[in-house]
Chain A
Amino acid sequence: MAENTLQAPAVSQEVAALRTSPVAHLADEMAAASVEGDRGVALREIPFLAQVGVRALPGTPSAAAVEAALGTSLPRRSGEVTGPAGRQVLWISPDEFLLVADPDSVDIAAGAAALGTGEEALPGSIMDLSANRTTLELSGPSARAVLEKGCHYDLHPSIFAAGTAVSTQLGPVPILLWKTDETTFRLLPRASFADYTVHWLLDAMSEFSAPEVP
């Protein structure tokens, strides 16, 4: 695999200081709602992850160019996630993928150039979608129980394995749901749904701060 060419110049301190993540105003509420112990569950936002939308059909020259630029192969089936930690590609559909990487670690212009320009350009696209979704992390022994109150996907470990991600719904909200380990889920709602999604989760988490009702 070729050296990945999507390394970004560092974002200046001034620019970084100006931005506000979609649920920054709920950080205190999320921290206060976390529950410790056997029934524990915690919620936090992981702001400003770089996200790059990729359209290309695996097996074509477009996909080969994209894979060279990303430095990783594209996933081939629903659920599959490829790439090293901090720079991973999620399967969205047979010809659509989302690169999720550490904040400010991707140079979109270099990525887009991988498909060429003008009449020589290969079909497909590489597009900066970083502000489209924010990332929420729900973790703890009760995380699955919280999600099961309103998630339409089957979250049983025999179906939903750690290290896989699916596009589904939480309540009425379309989300990408990414299981990073046995008790940790990343939820990626679109920014405009993030406030609602956090309030939905805070409500669903509240029962776990009390002892289980036999």
Chain B
Amino acid sequence: MLLIDCPNCGPRDETEYHYGGQAHVAYPEEPSTLTDSEWSRFLFYRQNPKGIFAERWNHAAGCRKWFNALRDTATYEIQAVYQMDEPRPDAVSPELAQAQHHAPEGGAQ
């Protein structure tokens, strides 16, 4: 079971989340001008890296908000979580990831 750190709610079990696939896939500026092959590339083609992957998660059982995470697909380590409108952070070392970790405030999580 992954323990995923929602930017709004703090750490929660994986079962509270829905997975949303690759992050930062921009909707085409002019969808009507795309060829079928360009459109299919937007709809269906996704990266499948071994290592750091920027992906979307929805906290379905909590705040119901979407956010992004940098996850290592080989170790499952989540190195960073960030809001949808924030740029992708650089992949970081485990020590840095720990320091960047959203710190819970008091008991009110």
Taking beta carbons and an 8 Å cutoff, which residues of A are in contact with B?
77-80, 92-94, 96, 152-154, 157-161, 164, 166-169, 174
If A92-B63, A93-B65 touch, whether A79 touches B109 (CB-CB below 8 Å) is: yes
Inter-chain contact B9/A157, CB cutoff 8 Å: no
Interface 1/0 per residue, B77-109 and A, CB below 8 Å: 000000000000000000000000000111111
A-B contact pairs, 9 of them (CB 8 A): A78-B8, A78-B63, A92-B64, A93-B64, A152-B16, A152-B61, A159-B107, A164-B107, A164-B108
B63 interface neighbour in A94, A153, A164, A169, Cβ under 8 Å = A94
Inter-chain contact A78/B64, CB cutoff 8 Å: no
Name the distance in Å between B35's Cβ and chain A's nearest Cβ.
39
Instruction: Please measure, in the bound complex, the distance between the C-alpha atom of A152 and the C-alpha atom of B15, giving whole angstroms.
Output: 8
Number of residues from B at the complex interface, CB < 8 A: 19
Which residues from chain B contact A167 at a C-beta distance below 8 Å?
9, 61-63
Name the distance in Å between A21's Cβ and chain B's nearest Cβ.
24
Inter-chain contact B65/A94, CB cutoff 8 Å: yes
Name the distance in Å between B104's Cβ and chain A's nearest Cβ.
8
Instruction: Please measure, in the bound complex, the distance between the C-alpha atom of A77 and the C-alpha atom of B8, giving whole angstroms.
Output: 7
A174 interface neighbour in B10, B13, B61, B105, Cβ under 8 Å = B61
Interface 1/0 per residue, B5-43 and A, CB below 8 Å: 000111111011000000000000000000000000000
A78 interface neighbour in B15, B16, B61, B108, Cβ under 8 Å = B108
Which residues from chain A contact B65 at a C-beta distance below 8 Å?
93-94
Inter-chain contact A169/B109, CB cutoff 8 Å: no
Name the distance in Å between B107's Cβ and chain A's nearest Cβ.
3
Instruction: Please measure, in the bound complex, the distance between the C-alpha atom of A80 and the C-alpha atom of B16, giving whole angstroms.
Output: 20
A153 interface neighbour in B8, B12, B107, Cβ under 8 Å = B12
Instruction: Please measure, in the bound complex, the distance between the C-alpha atom of A153 and the C-alpha atom of B61, giving whole angstroms.
Output: 11
Inter-chain contact A161/B16, CB cutoff 8 Å: no
Inter-chain contact B107/A93, CB cutoff 8 Å: no
Name the distance in Å between B65's Cβ and chain A's nearest Cβ.
6
